[in-house]
Structure 1
Amino acid sequence: MGATSPFKNHHYNNHNHQSHFVTKKLIPWTLYALLPIALLRLYFNPLDFLLSSSDHLLPTTSPISSSSSISISNPPPLIPPHQHQESEKARHESAPPCDYATGKWVQDKRGPMYNATTCTTIKEGQNCFAHGRPDSEYLYWRWEPNQSHCQIPRFDPNTFLQLISNKHLAFVGDSLARNQLESLLCMLATLSPPNLVYTGGEDNKFRRWNFPSHNVSISVYWSPFLVQGVERSSSGPSHNHLFLDRVNQKWAEDLDKMDMIVLSFGHWYLNPAVFFEGDSVLGCHYCPGLNHTEIGFFDAVRKALRTSLNAIRGRRRVANTKGISVVVTTFSPAHFVGEWDKNGACSKTKPFGEGEKMLEGMDAEMRKVEVEEVEMANKEENGERYLGYFGAVTLDVTKLALMRPDGHPGPYMHPFPFANGVSERIQNDCVHWCLPGPIDTWNEILLQVIKKWDLGQSGREE
């Protein structure tokens, strides 16, 4: 018996045989006709020919059985290694700018990168979980920008440290600057624990850490007004005295040692203050009983930020040193329900939904002032940005912070505040952020800003 035909269930008629005969004649002639075309293409475009041919030769599903194995070496890169960074830069420059400021909070099952056990630098007042906060849903959200090409990857501590290797990053401002710094330390500690190498000032308000693996220094400078000022106290003036044309030398004198500065301030300007420019009083904010003009605090915030940015630019030009990058973290709204000093609380356990809370009033105006001053400082550089002196962006977190009333310590700024029952009056913190918590997103966006700076891109990150 002959071999069984694989087409045993098919019946061929005479037409089938004629078609088969014609096919046998046509195939050789077709191949002879295509051969010269293939040879010409191979001669003029050998790489394109081989790549397109391989697309047809490689199967979409491997036909190799489980008892066989094959090893295919990686082909050499089509772009030489020294050109890879230039190609990456060109790709990013051609992409539209990212707006990280608009979006929504979406649930994320992954949760935070760290906890109170793995991070030892969490300030006690922000250690919500260790202080007995019973709910944990606030830990399982991530910020999703509206622009699909601007999704924020999970923070990569290795990439962050590589990008700022051999550099000094300084956080300058109030306790929210410190809050963001401590979040960053915790995220970086998942890769490499920091060494505290300097402490100074009252309550160690000036500190510096070092990551020896990458020779990175990260500092915090307490300067709640950015400019020179005298804080009100029980033994001193009843109002803050602020000199809006004089930068605070506590941080400015170290400018030559800094490569990147994160400025974060604003909340202290809500307190009663008298504002000076030179030896003259400009006016005041909430100063009944004093013979000064009430001017509010928005103009004072604007002048203070302008003075600080000009000081950074001026110091770099005079010193003729390497360039400096400035990030201004925009105003982070508080979420007190009621007055902060009259039993105000923040008891929500979920983010606001879209349209549930609008950015308006004081929060919107503070953000507007900061964005405008950064843009003005860049314009005054007259095209010299990124050429060795100065470059600034706003880290626009105001709206995404506004949407997270659930992320504050609230009563858990103290350990187990209800251990002895619910008291009639309990202090709440609805300004700072739990660690871990929403403020970790600030640093995820900061990493994206630094990536673009590394590729030589400009533009404001929102």
Structure 2
Amino acid sequence: MIDHQFLLQLQLLNSETPPMEDGTSSSSSSSSSPTLPTSKYIPKRPFPPLKVPSNGVASDLKKALFSPTSLIIRTPTFRPNYRSLYFACLFTTVFLFCTVLFLFANPHLHHSSSQWFKNMLARRPQLPAYLPDFIFYDAGGGGEGGGGGKYKISAAKSNETELEGNRNGKGSELGKIGGNDRGRLKDKAWLEIMSRCDIYDGKWVKNDLAPLYERGSCSFMDESFNCHRNGRPEYAFERYRWQPHHCNTPRLKGRKMLRLLRGKRMVYVGDSMNRNMWESLVCLLRNSVKDKSRVFEASGRTDFKKEGAYSFLFLDYNCSIEYIRSAFLVQEWETTLANGSKKETLRLDLPESSYDTIKDADVLVFNTGNWWTHEKTSEGKGYYQEGDNVHEKLEVEEAFAKAMATWARWIEANVDLNKTHVFFRGYSFPHFSKGEWNTGGRCDDKEPIEDEKELLSAHEMKPSIPLMLDRAMEGLKIPVYYQNVSLMTNYRKDAHPSLFRKPNMTEDEKNYFATHQDCSHWCLPGVPDTWNELLFAQLLMIYKQRRLQQHQEQQAHL
């Protein structure tokens, strides 16, 4: 409530004639009229009074508070230009959005931003593939949830939903959900970008994300790969990720890959480097399963170094991840000499005897290479055999080409390449310095190689396994996905087990391993996780391509 007596007093005060600037009253004023202090309290140029209706109390209050003689000094009020403010906010919002998109949606542009921007302008229809998955707004009324105007998962985000497809074993995973046109458009744009990108051409960059599984969390890991358990004191080698120069690859999520592999069989075939990669995937996928008791090796074995085949079953997804040891991809043999003695040879004309058990697998991952550098194979004296003929001398390059041709013929004759995806992982560089694996070679480095000039030269290797593999892959007439990991492994001299090969080592063991370091294999978590992550990216590309192809075939029949 307004105090009317107070207002009346203020009104009487305002009825007096204001004094002149010199302190005297006007001629019409009474000599006894009260005078107020001069400019000490009253501004010389008072602000104009507010325009309010002259209606009773409001008018009286206005006169009392904003009269030039009022003791209450009016504070100037900022009156913004709302139209200018609106455009300023809009511009700031758009600018910040574009900046965030430009810097974070495409990490590879940090080292090639100008070229990336040119590529983006040249492929404007593919712009959705550069954008985050959550920004697309579906104004229509489609979708399982019903109702229009809802945000919908699209493209890469939708894969997790789409791959759920055949959870109950009913219907086909491909194309069962993913009927969204915008999702197909984004898939197509992403596939076009990835088809022009060599995901094995890139560099290692520091990464703040945790490894794909926690160190020391996998009980199935080979003892010599478990650097955490073996006492390695630093883990900076885990904080790197592989960044292709011209595209981005998705981070491997265990559940998503298990959904890709639901009801399927995946087999690694090769030497201990492929066992390194196989154990990496087993640990990674097991880490994403809630009930880990439903993941186990079929025969109950825990030592995977011996000859034979091993299979981990993931019961919740009805899939298996297997490994078969085959160091050369052809048969290691024993031949009988004229004097009745036995001699070890390598049958370049016979594929591995266990291949018949894997020809119906859905994904095959082969490798060979490291064993071809050993003394018997590199010298080639009386070791290589074709038919009954044991070559007195055969160059390792020629023997390797013959073995790869035998492997390729078996694939072509026995594997349904419409059903089975065949991968071949390339050569993984070792990093022995000051000797070889059996002559005191070491790899004590804690940082990867940064200067390309320090990389090991494939041309200087004797024999040059990376170049031999490249030639073999180029000569194939069958569709094989070549995982050329030579460059990425060449940089990582910091990520080998080194002398941390066994837990709780005695002093004698420490002294022995100090001169017998493992500079060939890799610590886990570590570099093989990246191999599997790129394998996942390629499998995802195959899945998207088949889904789009199936949709096109369905549209053609309409």
Aligned to 2:347: 243
Amino acid at match of 1:300: A
Of residues 48, 52, 61 in structure 2, which corresponds to 1:2? Answer: 52
- Residue 429 of structure 2 aligns to which amino acid in structure 1? P
Distance 1:75 1:157, change over 3 A: closer
Partner residue in 2 for 1:196: 297
- Alignment match of 2:530 (pick from 441, 444, 449): 441
Structure 2 CA distance for aligned equivalents of residues 114 and 181 of structure 1: 14
Judged with a 3 Å threshold, the aligned counterparts in structure 2 of structure 1 residues 278 and 231 are, in CA distance, closer, same or farther, namely: closer
Displacement of 1:202 in angstroms is: 7.9
Deviation of 1:239 after TM superposition, in Å, equals: 7.4
Q: Which residue of 1 aligns with 2:253?
A: 156
What whole-Å deviation, never above 9, does each CA across 1:226-272 have from its counterpart, x for those lacking one? 1111389xxx999751111110121x111343111100111112220
Match of 1:306 among 399, 402, 405: 405
5 Å-filtered alignment, 1:193-232, equals: 193=292, 194-198=295-299, 203=306, 205-230=308-333
- Identity rate of aligned residues, in percent? 26
What is the Cα deviation at residue 83 of structure 1?
A: 4.9
- Look at both structures and tell me which one has the larger radius of gyration over its CA atoms: 2
Deviation at 1:454, TM superposition (A): 1.2
Q: Distance in 2 between matches of 1:176 and 1:303?
A: 22
- Structure 2 length normalisation: TM-score? 0.59
In structure 2, list runs of 5 or more residues that go unmatched. 1-50, 54-61, 63-75, 80-146, 156-176, 378-382, 547-558
- Match of 1:104, as an amino acid? K
Structure 1 Cα separation of the partners of residues 326 and 77 of structure 2: 89
Q: CA deviation at 1:413?
A: 0.9
Q: Distance in 2 between matches of 1:299 and 1:265?
A: 15
- Out of 427, 435, 455, which is 1:357 matched to? 455
Partner residue in 1 for 2:276: 179
Structure 1 CA distance for aligned equivalents of residues 341 and 530 of structure 2 = 38
Q: Does 1:293 align with 2:366?
A: no
1:92 is aligned to 2:190: yes
Which residue does 2:420 correspond to in 1? 324
1:357 Cα deviation after fit: 1.3
The match for 1:396 is 484
Matching residue of 1:264: 367
The one of 389, 392, 397 equivalent to 1:280 is 389
Aligned mate of 1:108, from 199, 203, 207: 207
Change (3 A) 1:428 1:90: same
Change (3 A) 1:216 1:442: same
- The residue type equivalent to 1:197 in the other structure is A
Q: Secondary structure at the match of 1:221?
A: strand
Q: Which amino acid aligns with 1:455?
A: K
Deviates more, 1:264-273 or 1:214-223: 264-273
Q: Does the 8 A contact of 1:345 with 1:410 survive in 2?
A: yes
Structure 1 letter corresponding to 2:218: C
Moved over 4 A (4+): 7-10, 75-81, 83-86, 199-202, 236-240, 416-422
1:154 shift after superposition = 2.4
Report the CA distance between 1:76 and its aligned residue.
Answer: 7.8
Which residue pairs with 1:336 in the alignment? 432
The answer as to whether partners of 1:162 and 1:214 remain within 8 angstroms in 2 is yes
1:48-127 matches, within 5 Å, as: 73-74=149-150, 81-84=178-181, 86-95=184-193, 96-127=195-226
Aligned residues: 365
What SS is found at the alignment partner of 1:405?
Answer: coil
The one of the two structures with greater contact order (alpha-carbon pairs below 8 A, sep at least 6) is 1
CA RMSD of aligned residues (A): 3.3
Gaps of 5+ in 1: 11-70, 284-291, 382-390, 458-462
